[in-house]
Structure formats: C-alpha cells, structure tokens
Structure 1
Amino acid sequence: MGNEHSSCTSLDLSRRSLLQSTAALLSLPFVANATTAWAQERLSGSGEVVVFSYGGTFTEGVRRYVYEPFTKATGITVVDVVADFPEPGVRAMFHAGKVEWDIATGIAAANYPAMHEAGMFVPIDYSLWDRESLEGSPPHTRLQDAVVAFSSALLLAYDQRAFPKGGPKNWVDFWDVKRFPGRRGLFAPEAKRNLPFALLADGVPHSDIWPLSDDKLDRAFKKLDEIKPYVAKWWNAGGEAPQLLINQEYALTSAYDGRAISAIKQGAPIKIVWDGAYLVHAYATILKGGPNTANAQMMIAFLNRAQIAAGYLQGTGYPGPNANQLKYLPSDVVEQVSVNPDNGSKAIVEDSAWLAAKRPDGKTNLERLQERWLAWRAG
C-alpha cells in the first residue's frame, strides 16, 4: 500500500466513514457569544478565507462551531471546499502554480515532512494566538508551518456485557484468551497500528515501541500468530468495530476513539481503554500562494482558542491540541477524549517521521511494514 493512501486511510476520514456528531453538543449561542466578546482588532478583517473540509457531518459541525462564530467575530467569510483527502489537491495546486485554497486541514502526519520540504506551506503567525492557546497547546503540536488540527486514536474497546466482573485493561489482556474469552476484532488494512499492539502484548514498554526495527517486527508478527485464530473478523470501515460489539459478534476489539465514543453517547454498552492506544495527529497548514493568507492566519489563531477548540471537538468528534478546552467541555466528554492528559499520556504517539523515512532499497519504512503485513494476512 502506498504511503499516501495508508496515511490518509489511517485517520478514517473519507466522507463515507466520517463520524456522526457527538451528542451533548455545546450550544451555538454560548460559543458565538463568547467568540464575539473575544473579537480583537488583530483578528478582524474583511473578504474571505478558503478552507478544505471533508464534507458531511464533519463540515456541518465545523461550520456551526467554528466558521459561523469566526465570521461573526471577525467579519471574514469562510468558503469551504470538500474532498476525501487534502493532500492530492494541495500537491496539484502547488505544482500547477495556482493555489486556490488558503487552509488545508487534515494533512496526515506521515505526509507532512515531504510537503514541508517541498515548500508548500507558509509559517504560522503565533503572535496572533492568545495566551490560553499557546499555553494549552504543547510545543510539539506547534510546528513552524503547521499546527495539529486534530488527533485520532485506535484503541481497545470491549462489550461490558461480555465481562460483567471487569474487562481487559491493556493489550496483554486482549491477548489473554483464557481470562478474557470471546471473539476478537482487529483492523485489517494497516500494519502500523497492529504491530505496536502486539509488542505491548509481548511486554515491550510504551517508550520502546519506536522505531519498529527488524527484530521488533519479528517479535510482533510472532505474537500476532498467537491471536490470529481468535480474530473472528478483520474490520475495515470505522463504524464496523463498535457495531459488531453492539451486535455481540465481538467481545473485544480495536476501534477508533471517535466512533466508540459516539456509540457510547448513544447508549451502547461499550468501554474504551486508553492504555496503549495508537494516536495519530493531522495538521492544519496555510498554503503558500493562497489568495487570502492574512485571513488564513486569523482563522488558524481562532481555531485554536480554547472555547472554539471545545466546539470543534463537539462538532466533529475529534479533539485539537489545546488542553484548555477541557474547561469548556461536559465532564462525560472530558473523561473519554485523548486531549485529557489522563488518557493521552497512556497512548503510543505515531512516529510519522520514522514511517516516512526511506530505507536503503528506496522504499519507506511504512511501505516495508505494509508489504510484510499483507503477506502475513494472506498466509
């Protein structure tokens, strides 16, 4: 599988598989009134800003909780353009020398380095950010020419009905078919998410997962051999895993955090486990040569304000990096999401730079992992 395709599909963000908006949404008047009060001269202007989005419920949520408040606070109109993934459009416009978008949200972390090196993005003006945004967003989420827009995780989820006395707490437990019997599910398309789970199950510490050296790969595939007979179905689309838990076709499985949380909000008897979750970041970038760069800088600054970040999470199901948003979220949401340090600190953050690095044979590490994964799955 090619680098771009596997990177993009890892976020499960094609229009056909986007999250439904989470329940208990913040009220629009609350966000709009708050952001109007924040309107400062440096975030006011005119004209428009053109922003990439994914369409469907994702775009509906962003319009309601980000775009409309932004226009009310600044006077700048937001024009959204829709596609399955941003990277192909950004590359095509850059190489054609005609850039029609201002902001690309959702650049996969594994795709960012090459696009950065090619000079596709302009530096972020962090002087426009308020203190709450800067203090709440960790330094590693604020790059020179990109900022983490949202994060997505693959984590362990289980049917509480299957384990009334307490379910699995980590991937060691997932592999323990005697203590935790039942049908299992794992994600079919990608190597990069499943291999760390296998290493954790084999006793490798969180801090030693990356890089996935050849000896670690041998160890991971040997461990996967153990669980393979107990995988009832290898799932593909994001909605499959929670639905199969609800239908009791799985007792425990890997699942996307947003999908599982959405199901829990709707009353599903599902429990999620953050220990050993696989966390991926997607970036927001301002495109070099875009028509409204100054307005784009204002939008990026606005997007990362704590109350707007809280609205973004409520509207899309995906959290941005500003931990100060937790002050503006319902307590039941805070308990579930990765931006809560109690959860995020237990996750394995993808080493996208290592995955994108070229091997001596010219292939990326990600491509090598994927080749071996597909051969193992077929065996």
Structure 2
Amino acid sequence: MNATRRRLAVLTASVLIISGAATFAHAADVVIAGPGGLAQEAQRKALFEPAAKALGWTFEEDTSQSWTEARAQVDAGAVSWDIISLSMGEVQLAVDAGVIIKLPPDIVDRKDFVPGSVNDYCVGNGVYSTVVAFSTKKYGNDGPKSMEDFWDVKKFPGKRGLFRSPRGNLEAAVLALGHTPSEVYDFLSTEEGKKAAFEKIAELKPHAIWWDSGAQATQLVKDGEVDMIYGWNGRLQAAIDDGAPFKINFKDGLLESDCYAVVNGGPHTDNAIKFIKEISKPEYIKDLPKYIPYGGANLKAYAQYDEKTLSRLTSSPENAKQQYPANVDFWGKNGTTLSEAFDNMLLSK
C-alpha cells in the first residue's frame, strides 16, 4: 500500500471507528482491539475467555492493524477501545502521539518476562519471529540455510514471498549483504547502509510476491504459489500443520513481541489495567501454543512445555539462540521515513 493509499485507509478507518464508538463503549467490562486472525483467536481462547471468567467479567473484541486507528479515536475524543495490541516497535510512536497511557510499575514482574517485552506503557503478550520457510517439494531438505541463500535466485530459483513493509525486509537484506546480526542496526543507521539495503531488496522484485496480511502469507504457502517465504512463524506453521510441504528455518530469524497497552481515554481504564495484569499470568500464557505456535512473553509458562511444543516455538531456548532481536528504538525513530522509501522502491522500475 503506497503512502497516499495508506493515509486514505486510515482516514476511512477513522470514520468507521468514531461512528462505532457508542457500540462498544458500555457494552462490556472491557473492550480489546487485537491483531485479528489466528493470533486473536488464540488469545481469545487461551487468555481472554478464562481471564474474564475468573474476574466475572464480559468483554468485547475489535481488530486493529495499526496504532493510528486508536489515534483517530483519541484525536476525535470518541474512544471505544480500552486495550490495544501493538508491536513493540509501535509503542514509542503511540506514546509520542498521546494514544496510550503509562502503566502502574507493578502491573507485572518484569524479570519473569522475555527481555524487552515489557516497558512503562506495554506488557508483552506473544513472541514471534519473521523466518524463512521453504518448499520441501521443490528443494527437499536442502533449502536456503541463510539470508544469502534466500537472495540467491540462481542456486535457489523460484518465487519468494515477502511482506509489503520495510520492517524485517531491511534487516534481512543487510544479512544477505554478508553482515552479521550484531551489525544490522549499526549498518542501517547510516544513509549508505539504508541505500544498500533498499537496493538489495529491489533485486528480488522480479522474483517476489508481496503479501499484506498473515492470512495471505498462510494461503500463499498452502496453495504453493511461493517456493520460499520470509514471514511470521505462526502463520507459516499453520500452513505446515494443514499439510503444506514446507519447512521452517529459524536461523537468522528476527525476534519480536507484541504487547498490550491501555488506550488513553478509554471507557474502562481501571478494568483495562486489571485485565492486562490478569491475562499476563503464566496459567493463561501456557495455553497459547495449543492454538498457535507462538510462545508467550511470560517465561514462567515455559517450564510446562514438552520438547515437541518447544521445537515449534520461536521463543524456545534452542530456536531463540539462532535468531536476533528487533531494535524497536530504530523503528520508532525511522519507521515513517523508511515506509515511504519502501513504497517508492516498489513503485520504481
């Protein structure tokens, strides 16, 4: 989606959000805007429903694909959401815009959580990775083993699936240029580095199918429309579980976490804080992998998993050590500019 279309989409969403505010504002004890799709379905079953039952509450759900949708509500003074799910990279943007509030320091014990998954404004819910998966039908078990392989269209001919966003793709391009994970963000902090990374991504344009949602990524794999894909591990695993002949390679995966924040001016702020505290407990978090192959941010849940479960979780110790964490500060500072540059790169010849 180019910059103009994105702005129009946000404007349209703003009208819908504001007009629907009365619907949600007083219909339940807490209103949650989640990421939609399989992730929100898993959170509903593992977290929302049992936590609401324990509290004796009712809840309503909506979906959100960007923090700017909550901003539209806040700016209009018509807030219908209490809790919003964000990526950690969006948090500072939402803070700077006055969209979310500071949480009580004792809402969770941070030492129990994946490092970097909790801050003053957001509490981690799920840990996921952007990883490479490849067709075993096309490549057998000798598919791409690194980002350099993913970019090597001579050694590994075929269609690549890539998310229509700079986030993740820029980091992957730096690895494909031969840099180590520890060098990625230093390299991207220079203008020369950004330029080189965009040029590297542009090399794949003739070989790429760009996907816009997790559901689309899953379908591309299931339908065999791509031979390899760089995408969210839970969506790729869902396709594999449905019979797609693909294999995930966790090496060079980009580790990230989503988190829950409280929307400024929501109808049930106190309830929202209490609900986040409740759903962040390990007795709920431990059940997430029953519904989606994402581990929760609360590490106390991991002691209860067997080896089979751990092998599927991107955040398990064995898989996590092959990956590197996303730098949310980098994206907080550069996200808007890089998104515009990415759109321009896709539109250029």
Shorter-normalised TM range: 0.7 to 0.9
Aligned to 1:374: 343
Partner of 2:191: 214
Match of 1:362 in 2: none
Which whole-Å CA distance do the structure 1 matches of 2:141 and 2:35 have between them? Answer: 41
Kindly indicate whether the alpha-carbon contact (under 8 Å) linking 1:3 and 1:366 is maintained by their aligned counterparts in 2. no
1:199 aligns with 2:174: yes
Residues matched between the structures, number: 327
Post-superposition offset of 1:271: 0.8
Report matched runs for 1:172-321 at 5 Å. Answer: 172-178=148-154, 180-187=155-162, 189-211=164-186, 212=188, 213-224=190-201, 226-229=203-206, 231=207, 233-315=209-291, 318-321=294-297
Comparing 84-93 with 159-168, greater Cα deviation is found at: 84-93
**What's the Cα RMSD here?**
3.3
Q: Which amino acid aligns with 2:194?
A: L
- Provide the residue aligned with 1:68 in structure 2: 49
Alpha-carbon deviation of 1:202? Answer: 1.6
In 2, the alpha carbon distance for the partners of 1:88 and 1:371 equals: 16
- Preserved contact between residue 294 and residue 315 of structure 2 (Cα < 8 Å): no
Unaligned stretches of 5+ in structure 2? 11-27
Given candidates 130, 135, 139, the residue that maps to 1:154 is 130
Aligned partner of 1:63: which letter? R
* Amino acid across the alignment from 1:287: V
Q: Report the Cα distance in structure 1 between the residues aligned to 2:210 and 2:256, rounded to whole angstroms.
A: 21
Q: What SS does the corresponding residue of 1:174 show, helix, strand or coil?
A: helix
State the alpha-carbon separation in 1 of the partners of residues 79 and 160 from structure 2: 43
Deviation at 1:242? Answer: 4.7
The equivalent residue for 1:17 is none
Tell me, what secondary structure is at the counterpart of 2:161?
A: strand
- 63, 71, 96: which one aligns with 1:91: 71
User: Counterpart of 2:106 in 1: which secondary structure?
Assistant: helix
Distance in 2 (CA, whole Å) between partners of 1:226 and 1:57 is: 32
User: Does the CA contact (< 8 Å) of 2:144 and 2:156 recur in 1?
Assistant: no
**How has the CA–CA distance of structure 1 residues 59 and 249 changed in structure 2, closer, same or farther, with 3 Å as cutoff?**
closer
Structure 1 contact 241–254 (Cα < 8 Å) conserved: no
Q: 1:339 to 1:324 in 2, by over 3 A?
A: farther
**Alignment gaps of 5+ in structure 1:** 10-46, 358-364
Match of 1:169 in 2: 145
Whole-angstrom CA distance in 2 between matches of 1:375 and 1:54: 27
Runs of 4+ in 1 over 6 A off after TM superposition: none
Is contact 1:52-1:86 (8 Å) kept? no
1:204-238 deviation per Cα after TM superposition (whole angstroms, max 9, x unaligned): 11011114122112332443455445x15344443
Worse-superposed segment, 234-243 or 270-279: 234-243
Report Cα offsets for 1:33-54 as digits up to 9, x if no partner. Answer: xxxxxxxxxxxxxx92332235
Q: Percent of aligned positions with the same letter in both sequences? A: 24
Contact 1:3 1:367 in 2 (8 A): no
Superimposed CA distance per residue, residues 111-137 of structure 1 (whole angstroms, 9 cap, x where no aligned partner):
3213213444333335354xxx64430
Alpha-carbon distance in 2 for matches of 1:246, 1:57 = 15
Determine the C-alpha separation between the residues in 1 that align with 2:76 and 2:199: 47
Partner deviation per Cα, 1:313-370 (whole Å, 9 max, x = no partner): 434554431223223345433212222133234334333332332xxxxxxx334333
CA distance in 2, matches of 1:114, 1:232: 30
Contact persistence 1:158–1:167 (CA under 8 A):
yes
The equivalences for 1:28-39 within 5 A come to none
Q: Which moved more, 1:54-63 or 1:246-255?
A: 54-63
What is the match of residue 88 of structure 2? 109
TM-score of the superposed pair, with normalisation by structure 2: 0.79
Superposition pairs of residues 313-352 of structure 1, within 5 angstroms:
313-315=289-291, 318-329=294-305, 331-352=307-328
Aligned partner letter, 1:66: L
* Residues 163 and 231, structure 2, Cα contact 8 Å, conserved in 1: no
The amino acid of 1:204's aligned partner reads H
The normalised TM-score by structure 1 is 0.73
Q: What is the match of residue 15 of structure 2?
A: none
> In 1, distance between residues paired with 2:6 and 2:182?
27
State the secondary structure of the residue aligned to 1:277.
Answer: strand
